[in-house]
């Protein structure tokens, strides 16, 4: 996602100290860059997400921390599902699971080609950092399987009732869309007010994603963190997935 442009000199530099404090997320520059440096330890990453901040940088760059304005989000109850996607879901083209192959999903995301991007922002250090978060019960994946093959999916971080989507991939038509639809419907059932998509993509915009002011997003983060979290393996905590009210209405019941 990074354009590879170094952070300007006036952006604060954070040390490697585990007890670092992020600047006010509203102080990011016009591009959304807040600060540079620090590390990708679980404590630093969780501190960032709890303040509406995320890392995004290219291989060989320093760690850049972002808080863009506006913020691109998807409200789970508002997800738009086309009739063609409902048919894909009804046909059972993909088997959808949670937290069955987190490493497989993030590594597939790291190697997926991105229009207008040369290389990946999901570096080896990023992969290992998020795998650690997964083992700690904070990072989760949705898998779309075609037979025994991983056809698509997505991963992200969850704190309280906030889900921060990081990346998705498809090796087969509509696989990542199927994963996102099923996740949004289930998170709506579980009382998650918002899915953070960070910056606009046409893929998510076509499904109802939209920009909101950063101030509103930060208010949503604070509200979500006041709600009880779902830490642990979502394979067990969200048993029956992809079953949800949205799934029963939009897939099982023919219109």
- Name the nearest CA neighbour of 158 among 182, 139, 133: 139
Buried residues in 170-208 as b, exposed as e (16+ CB within 10 A)? beeebbbbbbbbbbbbbbbeeebbbbbbbeebeebeebb
- Same domain membership, residue 86 and residue 32: no
pLDDT at residue 107, as a whole number: 97
Say whether both 18 and 132 belong to one domain. no
Q: For residue 171, give the CATH number of its domain.
A: 3.40.630.70
Average pLDDT of the chain, as a whole number: 91
Give residue-wise pLDDT tens across range 109-145: 998 765 544 445 799 999 999 999 999 999 999 999 9
In a domain, 7, yes or no: no
Task: Give the pLDDT band of residue 20 (cuts 50, 70, 90).
Answer: confident
Note the Cα 247 to chain centre separation in Å: 21
Q: Does 85 share its domain with 122?
A: yes
Does the model's pTM come out above 0.85?
Answer: yes
Q: How many residues does the chain have?
A: 255
Name residues whose C-beta falls within 8 Å of residue 5's C-beta, 6 or more positions apart in sequence. Answer: 31
116 & 237 share domain:
yes
Q: If we measure between CA atoms, which residue out of 143, 128, 139, 179 comes closest to residue 163?
A: 139
User: What integer pLDDT is reported at residue 61 of this predicted model?
Assistant: 86
User: Does residue 2 surpass a pLDDT of 50?
Assistant: no
Q: Are residues 46 and 102 in the same domain?
A: no
């Amino acid at each position: 996602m990074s354009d590879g442009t170094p952070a300007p000199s006036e952006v604060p530099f954070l040390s490697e100290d585990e007890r670092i404090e992020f600047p006010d997320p509203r102080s990011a520059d016009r591009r959304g860059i807040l600060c540079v440096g620090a590390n990708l330890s679980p404590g630093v990453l969780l501190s960032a997400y709890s303040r509406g901040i995320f890392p995004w940088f290219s291989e060989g760059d320093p760690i850049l921390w972002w808080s863009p304005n506006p913020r691109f989000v998807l409200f789970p109850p508002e997800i738009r599902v086309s009739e063609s996607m409902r048919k894909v879901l009804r046909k059972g083209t993909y088997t959808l699971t949670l937290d069955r192959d987190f490493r497989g999903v993030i590594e597939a995301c790291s190697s997926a080609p991105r229009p207008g991007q040369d290389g990946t922002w999901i570096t080896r250090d990023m992969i290992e950092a998020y795998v650690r978060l997964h083992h700690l019960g904070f990072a989760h994946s949705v898998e779309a399987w075609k037979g025994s093959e991983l056809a698509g999916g997505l991963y992200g971080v969850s704190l309280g009732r906030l889900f921060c989507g990081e990346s998705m991939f498809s090796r087969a038509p509509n696989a990542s869309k199927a994963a996102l639809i099923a996740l949004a419907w289930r998170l709506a059932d579980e009382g998650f007010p918002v899915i953070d998509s960070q910056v606009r993509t046409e893929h998510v915009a076509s499904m109802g994603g939209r920009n909101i002011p950063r101030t509103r997003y930060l208010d949503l983060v604070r509200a979500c963190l006041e709600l009880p979290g779902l830490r642990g393996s979502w394979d067990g905590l969200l048993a029956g997935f992809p079953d949800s009210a949205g799934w029963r209405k939009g897939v099982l019941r023919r219109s």
